[in-house]
Amino acid sequence: EFDQKLPNWWLFSFYIMIVYFVIFWVGYYQLGFFKTDHDRVGAAMAKIEEKREAQLEELLKKLDDKALVAEWSHNETALAAGEATYKSVCLACHGEDLSALTRIPGMDPIPMPGRSLTDGEWTHGGKPMDLFNIIKNGSPPESEGFKGAKMEAWGLKLPPKAIAEVTAYIISKNPEEFEKYAQ
């Protein structure tokens, strides 16, 4: 049984696979002919980031304090989209009514981790574009946060238009605070 020779088809397949492995190994690891999964994912992420930056640049060309207050905060479509985004990502920290309090009938209000967005106190700037930038970039690195919690940078997760819509939604809930920027 041990004296029998292997079939030629098996031997040729085996030798071809050895040669293929050596060529592939040299091409993949030494010469870089093939892209790794890491390279492909990195390239895809770079395209996404380029697209996001292009959207941001396009939006910032026509977005300023006056546009946010006079146009965006009165646009029903933008407000509906902003409210939907707010309820999906901001509600957990800032509350349903933007007061950063959870109200349960028969109990005292329970404070939430975020700041109130209706009290008129804007720690990192009170202009509409300051609000846009805080939502986009999160709390400044030098800030200590509020109750130890820092605002997350939503610019990495939300498109610029959604951030502008959320900003407009917050402005629409504080019209007297921001009306001076409408002129």
The reported pTM is 0.74
Q: What is the pLDDT of residue 1?
A: 62
pLDDT at 83 over 90: yes
Using pLDDT thresholds of 50, 70 and 90, give the confidence band for residue 156. Answer: confident
Give per-residue pLDDT as tens, 165-182.
999 999 998 888 888 887
Residue 92 is given by DSSP the state: H
Q: What is the pLDDT of residue 42?
A: 95
Q: Provide the percentage of residues in the chain whose pLDDT is more than 90.
A: 38
Of residues 1 and 181, more confidently modeled: 181
Closest of 64, 92, 99 to residue 170, by C-alpha: 99
Closest of 134, 99, 133, 131 to residue 115, by C-alpha: 99
The Cβ of residue 64 has, within 10 Å, a number of other Cβ atoms equal to 15
pLDDT at 127 over 80: yes
